């Protein structure tokens, strides 16, 4: 139970707590194909291509798919927001909400890791109906027990619904 004038601990998440992937250092002259293999082998989403230059793995894969595998990754580098490991998680979330694909978390001069934006939710298409669209409602007759609502036994004899059935949805309450 809560006590008056009692000190409670304050929980503050830091940027280091949000890190969800590693950053791998690579030479800026490394070819895109080799960088793609390096990123996949090490499970990295971001490659460090020199001082404050970052390359996303998606960019390297896209360059290789376009036939630009010999291109140096320094040409694919882009600026990414960089935060200190002790900064608040709010600073990281503000960068991600502002449109950054990733935020690099640094501990001193070395990259600690990267915080990625959550992937968009997968769209699930509804399965097509198994009944062909040419069929009409008259082609599928329903039984009388399904088409008529259930009446209590006493209401059938009188031909009307009793008051308690209308108020309680068919249940009698004491």
CATH number of the CATH domain containing 96:
3.10.580.10
Considering the domain boundaries, does residue 44 fall inside one?
yes
pLDDT of residue 72: 93
Considering the domain boundaries, does residue 124 fall inside one?
no
Pairing of strands 102-107, 46-48: unpaired
pLDDT of residue 5: 79
Question: How many helices (H) and strands (E) would you count in the chain?
Answer: 6, 6
Considering the domain boundaries, does residue 55 fall inside one?
yes
Considering the domain boundaries, does residue 90 fall inside one?
yes
The tokens for 105 are 């978390």
DSSP characters for 64-109? Answer: HHTT-TTSBGGGT-B---EEETTSBHHHHHHHHHTT-SEEEEEETT
Q: pLDDT tens for the chain, 174 residues: list them.
A: 677 877 777 778 899 999 999 999 999 999 999 999 999 999 999 999 888 899 999 999 999 999 999 999 999 999 999 999 999 999 999 999 999 999 999 999 899 999 998 777 777 766 665 555 555 555 555 555 455 555 555 555 555 655 555 555 555 555
Of 117, 97, 93, which Cα lies nearest the Cα of 15?
A: 93
Q: What is the pLDDT of residues 77-126, one digit of tens each?
A: 999 999 999 999 999 999 999 999 999 999 998 999 999 987 777 777 66
Question: 3-state DSSP call for residue 46?
Answer: strand
pLDDT of residue 153: 59
pLDDT of residue 172: 54
The model's pTM is 0.62
Pairing of strands 102-107, 54-56: unpaired
Q: Quick check: 46 and 142 in contact, CB under 8 A? A: no
Pairing of strands 102-107, 110-116: antiparallel
Q: Quick check: 48 and 117 in contact, CB under 8 A? A: no
Considering the domain boundaries, does residue 26 fall inside one?
yes
**Distance of alpha carbon 70 from its chain centroid, rounded?**
33
Considering the domain boundaries, does residue 103 fall inside one?
yes
Give 134's Cβ-side CA count (13 Å radius).
0
Q: Quick check: 25 and 96 in contact, CB under 8 A? A: no
Considering the domain boundaries, does residue 166 fall inside one?
no
Domain count, the chain: 1
Considering the domain boundaries, does residue 62 fall inside one?
yes
Q: In which domain, by residue range, is 79 found?
A: 15-116
């Amino acid at each position: 139970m809560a006590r008056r004038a009692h000190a409670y601990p304050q929980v503050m998440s830091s940027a280091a707590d949000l890190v969800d992937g590693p950053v791998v250092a690579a030479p800026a002259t490394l070819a895109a194909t080799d960088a793609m293999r390096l990123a996949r082998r090490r499970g990295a989403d971001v490659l460090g291509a020199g001082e404050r230059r970052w390359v996303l793995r998606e960019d390297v894969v896209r360059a290789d798919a376009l036939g630009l595998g010999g291109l140096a990754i320094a040409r694919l580098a882009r600026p990414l927001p960089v935060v200190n490991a002790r900064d608040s998680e709010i600073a990281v979330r503000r960068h991600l909400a502002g449109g950054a694909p990733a935020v690099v978390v640094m501990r001193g001069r070395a990259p600690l890791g990267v915080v990625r934006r959550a992937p968009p939710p997968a769209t699930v298409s509804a399965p097509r109906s198994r009944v062909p669209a040419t069929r009409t409602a008259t082609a599928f007759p329903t039984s009388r027990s399904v088409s008529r609502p259930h009446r209590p036994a006493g209401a059938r004899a009188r031909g009307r619904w009793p008051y308690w059935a209308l108020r309680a949805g068919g249940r009698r309450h004491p």
